[in-house]
Amino acid sequence: MTSTHGTNRDNPLEQLSLEQLRTRTSTKWVAHPDDVLPLWVAEMDVPLAPPVADRLRAAIDSGDTGYPSGRDYPRAVAAFAAQRWGWDGVTPENSAIVPDVMLGIVEALRLISDPGDAVVVCSPVYPPFYAFVTSADRRIVEAPLGDDRRLDLTSLEAAFTTALDSSARPVLLLCNPHNPTGVVHTRAELEAVVALARRYGVRVVSDEIHAPLVLPGAEFVPFLSVTGAEDGFALFSASKGWNLAGLKAALLVAGPGAVDDLARLPEEVSHGPSHFGEMAHVAAFEEGGAWLDALLAGLDANRTLLADLVAEALPETELKLPEATYLAWLDCRSLGLHEDGADQSIGVVSDLSGPAQFFLEKARVALSSGHVFGSGGNGFVRINYATSQANLREAVRRMAAALDR
Ligand SMILES: Cc1ncc(COP(=O)(O)O)c(C=O)c1O
């Protein structure tokens, strides 16, 4: 499916034309009519990385379509973590294959908390945190990020106090790096969070799905590598880095002080991931490094382009350059398009209100609506910039035109 459409032969973001992308049947491409430019859900407009495609093709050719063994995933993540992050905290003994990151989070919560217990999240944050935590019979307590969009110790301390008032075993669910702000937590920030969590007896589960997507200038710090984080859990996946959301598999990793908890993980959890999922994720972590580097270079260029386009065409809005991910969090509050109280649909990924609704209707650009990301999200939109530069230019042009710029 490659074409000469792109400007850079190695950049995965410049390989596919809009016409080619519109033949896709994934949620990003079927949710809206063809006149809408979809820059919402976290799927990338890239072809499959060749090592992943080759691994899957070989499996098809040899009829290797049985159950996953779970044997190779820890090995692949361990090698990637050692090479990219200088961290050797993943072993077959301290990890388990799970169906995907969200279900892995739910399983970790089941291991270390009880129904009714509080789960602290740093809002605004990935909307399914709300939906999955709630459907797992836990309660969300928000610890809003600071105005600088970074973790806020004062708000975390208040949330821990609230959580402990009503639950015996509260948990902090971290997003590292953070979706939707693209913030990469520093070691000093994580150390401060760990110290606070220990003081309050709060266990931590860290969602590290965006870790492979840390962009030049920032450094990813695995949560479990932080001193004092030994009784935590972390989740890894190739799903975001290599666009494998349709190929289900993820890895739940326990710190040394959580290995006994992991031993209680029900055996049936390992029945959820698919063999094709495990093979694809293993191929990505083992052999997808060069492809990932080309992607990161493309994303680095795109975040700068997007920031420039926004500064020029949408000057009332504010975009802080993301340090990771392909998601940009655009402050549209000064446009006056949102209403207070539009927080009924927190956690419902596809719900629209305020600026996202305006841009869909008037600009035919689909963005994620900030209000579903929890407190602090109303009046923002999240832009997925894992697309071609032509699409980014067209999206911002349409948005500015809709505002009569
Ligand atoms: C922070 C975060 N966690 C989890 C997921 C979903 O992962 P999975 O499909 O493996 O459950 C996403 C998807 O965008 C995400 O951004």
Residue 396 in tokens: 């911002």
CA of 111 to the centre of ligand 1 (A): 20
List C-alpha distances in Å: 276 to 43, 96, 101, 244, 401: 19, 17, 16, 10, 44
| Contact 245 CB / ligand 1 (< 6 Å) | yes
Residue 60: predicted pLDDT: 98
Tokens 């094709």: give the residue: 276
Q: Which two tokens stand for residue 240?
A: 């975001």
Question: Does ligand 1 have an atom closer than 6 angstroms to the CB of 121?
Answer: no
Q: Nearest residue CA, atom 13 of ligand 1?
A: 42
With beta carbons less than 8 A apart as the criterion, state whether 388 and 44 touch.
Answer: no
Please identify every stretch of the chain with a pLDDT value under 50, giving residue numbers as ranges.
1-6
Question: Does residue 209's CB lie within 6 angstroms of at least one atom of ligand 1?
Answer: yes
- How far does residue 20's CA lie from ligand 1's centre (Å)? 25
**How much is the pLDDT for 5?**
43
CA angle 129, 131, 136 (to 5 degrees): 95
Q: What is the pTM of this model?
A: 0.96
Ligand 1 centroid to Cα of residue 209, in Å, is: 6
CB-neighbour burial class of residue 63 (10 A; exposed 0-12, middle 13-18, buried 19+): exposed
pLDDT (tens digit per residue) in 346-366: 777 777 878 999 999 999 999
Neighbour-count burial for 287-308, b at 16+ CB within 10 Å, e otherwise: bbbebbebbbbbbebbbeebbe
Give residue 215 CA to ligand 1 midpoint distance, Å: 18
Pocket test for ligand 1, best of 102, 235, 244, 281 (most atoms within 8 A of CB): 102
Distance CA 400, CA 382 (A): 16
The whole-number pLDDT of residue 6 equals 43
Q: Which of 123, 125, 126, 205 to mutate to test the pocket of ligand 1 (most atoms within 8 A of CB)?
A: 126
Q: Is the CB of 205 under 6 A from ligand 1?
A: no
Give the pairing type, strands 250-254 and 365-366: unpaired
Classified by CATH at the fold level, domain 12-48+289-403 comes out as Aspartate Aminotransferase, domain 1 (3.90.1150)
State the DSSP string of 248-278. --EEEEE-GGGHHHHTTS-GGGGGSS-HHHH
Best mutation site among 28, 176, 209, 382 for ligand 1 pocket (most ligand atoms within 8 Å of CB): 209
42 CA: nearest ligand 1 atom: 14
Annotated domain spans of the chain:
12-48+289-403, 59-287
Considering the domain 59-287 in this protein, what is its CATH number? 3.40.640.10
Tell me the CA–centroid distance for residue 8 and ligand 1, in Å: 29
Using the mean position of ligand 1's atoms as its centre, give its distance from the Cα of residue 174 in Å. Answer: 12
Q: Which residue do the tokens 């080309």 mark?
A: 294
67 burial (CB, 10 Å; 0-12 / 13-18 / 19+) is exposed
**321-331, pLDDT tens digit by residue?**
999 999 999 99
Distance CA 279, CA 51 (A): 11
Q: Which tokens is 400 given?
A: 């500015």
